[in-house]
A = this chain, B = another copy of it.
Amino acid sequence: MKKRESISALDAQLEALKIAFAPVIFQVVRTMREFGILTLLDKHKEGLTLEEIAQKSDISSYGAKILLESALSASVVLEDEGRYRLSKIGYFLENDTMVKTNMEFNHHVNYKGLFELDKSIKEQRPVGLEVFGEWDTIYPHLGVLPPKAKKAWFDFDHFYSDSAFDSSIEKLKAFNPQTVLDIGGNTGKFSIRFAKNSENINLTILDLPGQIEMAQKNIRENGLEDRVNFFPLDILNHEAEIPKGFDIIWMSQFIDCFSKEDAIKILTRVRESMDENARLCILEPLWDKQRFKSASYCIINTSPYFTAMANGCSKMFNSTDLFDYIRRAGLEIEETIDNLGVSPHTLVKCKKSL
């Protein structure tokens, strides 16, 4: 049965206009953050006049007026008798780490390149990435992004995945593994944390040769070189075998970086490396598994970044698609554990189908 919509025509028109003016409001609010106006209003709960705001943030009255009028129209600030204060929405824009991390990521990494979203879809490559360089994908070049873009990218990446690491490690330990293959181990962050947490575990990081160098440095600095090994491999070389003999194969926010076809091929090769006792553990934020609409909103709307900026062919999953890929690769889902970390992740434990 079709859902009835309770929104009035007048409200629907206003919502459509909010989309039509979305880049304006985005840049107005970001500028207010940049100038410290959000922080200022958060401190002065009693409200400030336009002139006070202009003076304290060292901008012209004209500039303050442009920002405050737009912010008022978007219910980011409220005005009473000439005094401006933060609304509840403004409060979250100033204080919520998820909101801030996404906003910085969308400005410094995605904003300009998203202009080419249509071309990226048509040409099936990340045309927006040309803002930063003549590259096929963003991944090998993260280290050379402009400083603000680089910071925003890593802040964004770590904010989501790191929060689920500790609870994931507890779950993995319950499966009692001796050896773990960390596919897409990146800077070594997960392996370092797991190795420090569990003395009896040996880990192997599999990643691109360039990433491995970075990871090796971090592992040495943490004094873990005797328990963490390395396996440099371009996972997209589908002729190359995945190393065998691990109790757990771990993939955190990894398989969402590939096209459907590549993802299924990678999972198939992982299955081929597994014996019957091995388990593949996939950690992903799934947008249909979120308790709050806010979290699923963030996950869904991260996908256009993959299209326009990252590689032109990957996206964030819902459980239907991820589980479908897993099964097509000849794997069986043994257990799923939801609600790990913020914008919570799901841990999917898989074994070889018999």
Interface contact B7-A117, CB-CB below 8 Å: no
Partner of A70, one of B102, B112, B303: B303
Residue A285, interface by CB 8 Å: no
Question: Given that A22-B23, A24-B106 are known contacts, is A17 also in contact with B297, CB under 8 Å in the complex?
Answer: yes
Alpha-carbon gap, A103 to B22, bound state (A): 9
Docked CA distance A292–B301 (Å): 30
A4-34 at interface with B (beta carbon < 8 Å):
5, 7, 9-10, 12-31, 34
Looking at the complex, which one of B2, B3, B25, B59 makes contact with A19 (CB distance below 8 Å)? B25
Q: How far is the CB of A284 from chain B (nearest CB, A)?
A: 15
Q: Tell me the count of chain A residues lying within 8 A, CB to CB, of chain B.
A: 89
Q: Is the CB of B62 within 8 A of A114?
A: no
Query: Shortest Cβ distance from A108 into chain B, in angstroms?
Result: 10
Contact segment of A87-95, A194-202, A234-242: A87-95
**Chain B binder among A75-83, A203-211, A212-220:** A75-83
Task: State A106–B67 Cα separation when bound (angstroms).
Answer: 17
Rounded to whole Å, the gap between the CB of A60 and the closest CB of chain B is 6
Stoichiometry, as copies per complex, reads 2
Residues of B within 8 A of A75 (CB): 15
* Chain B, residue nearest A95 (CB): B16
Residues of B within 8 A of A292 (CB): 10
A142 contact set on B, CB distance < 8 A: none
With known contacts A20-B103, A73-B300, A121–B31 Cβ distance under 8 A: yes
- A174 located at the interface, meaning its Cβ lies under 8 Å from any Cβ of chain B in the complex: no
The answer to whether the Cβ of A115 comes within 8 Å of any Cβ in the partner chain is: yes
Rounded to whole Å, the gap between the CB of A331 and the closest CB of chain B is 22
The answer on a CB contact under 8 Å between B70 and A20 is no
Contact B69 A303 (CB under 8 A): yes
- Interfacial residues, chain A to chain B (CB-CB below 8 A): 1-3, 5, 7, 9-10, 12-31, 34-35, 59-60, 62-63, 65-67, 69-70, 72-76, 78, 80, 87-93, 96, 98-100, 102-103, 106-107, 110-112, 114-115, 117-118, 121-122, 124, 259-260, 287, 292-294, 296-298, 300-301, 303-308, 313, 315
